[in-house]
Structure 1
Amino acid sequence: MKALAIDSASSCITFTAINEKKTASLSLNIGMHQSENLIPGIEEVMKKTGLKPETLEFACTALGPGSFTGLRLSFSALKAFQLAYSIPLYGIPSLEANAYPWSFFSGAVLSIIDAKKNRFYAQVFRNGQACSEIEDTETENVLSLVDIEENVLVCGAPLDVTLFVEQAKSFRPTQHFTVVNGISHSSTFSLLELGQSKYLKKEKGFPEYEGPLYIRKSEAELNLINS
């Protein structure tokens, strides 16, 4: 496999490049400073693996939901590769990518992304299958997606997971949470595995005219509506 993946759905942007048996990942928890680190991040992981842009088989990115700015940045960068080298670009739903490594888990897998304003993007998976729609809601409402007696594995960017569990315990102190932390690179490996599956099936890449999945309006759009 010769491929590149970027997950910029949260404040922690992650890059992974694979060149056959060589793999390099970089994770930067830099908040609003993603734009100036996007190209250097891509260059670093590609250089470490010896991966040349013209040899890429495919690229993949988190489709959303997530950070408006982050999603736009990764899509713009990878669409440039798509157009320049005629490779497919695959967009994988962000919450699906987070949950993918935990399909073996016997309880509920709760995939979350901090949506700011005391809200989370959330979706529940069981046995690798989505069991709920993508939600954009408060912590208490997210908890209504799972049974109070079941073991819940919470996955996502480490800071997002920590924030959610801290809030969730105030509503459900007896709920058992399995917290997945310290694995910030896993989402891009999920993107690559899911992208490779699409590539081997010869699925078409993301259409040039389509963009990320947004389930709420941006601040700029809201300001325009309210002005």
Structure 2
Amino acid sequence: MISEPEMVGDFAAWPEPEIATGETRPPRRSGPRPWWWALGGAAAASVVWAGVLYAYGPAAGAVDLGGYRVAEDLCAKVELRALSTELGKRSEAPGEMLDEHSALDKITCEFQFIPRGKPAEEGVSVQYGVELVLETHKKTDPEPEFEALVNQPSRLDGLPARPEEVPALGEKAFLTGTGEDEDPRLRVLDGGAVFSLTVSAEISYDADYYENASGDVAEPDTDLSAMPPFMVEDMRELMAVFKGKV
């Protein structure tokens, strides 16, 4: 920091201005300029830099969350009405995990569904699960990371993800895993918010099923390829929930 030098003693009176002629004009100073000129230059530079910051804004903290927020007990407000018509009745209150950080907040909601009616075969049952994840990126733009995740190869066969774009849903939205024997996933980017909605199926067998079974073990139908339209419908509603509009 440059500090102003302390002035000690009296100052001489300023001389009366004179009109300089060729004979009376003082010689041109060739040495360094006085220190107060440097201060003036630094002040001018500070003003220019402040103007740049005002015009472009700070590099950090500029991500627009669009009103989305992460808070405790928000999972209980998500109904998933469209998926419920296909998957069955919600078995219990959703599981919730909340992580908060100055740069990133994350909430994970887990829902379990039990199909309506009797199972196709005694001793065999199917349970469906839905996982919802919301991340709010408060300091960095998540778009590059979002694009990378959407295009990750399938975990089952290592083939390209083959994402299907969903129009008019957030800024960008893609469906992956829409083939047979895959868990469909809907990812949505909207400003600094990233949503992920995944549907899965789990088959359970009673303890004595294998003893009583004759021949090959039955595999119930767990095809989830028809879920994407219901996922898109529910995504629109749950985005409103996390925006405080529901």
- Structure exhibiting the larger radius of gyration computed from Cα positions: 2
* Structure with the larger strand share: 1
TM-score w.r.t. structure 1 length? 0.23
TM-score w.r.t. structure 2 length? 0.22
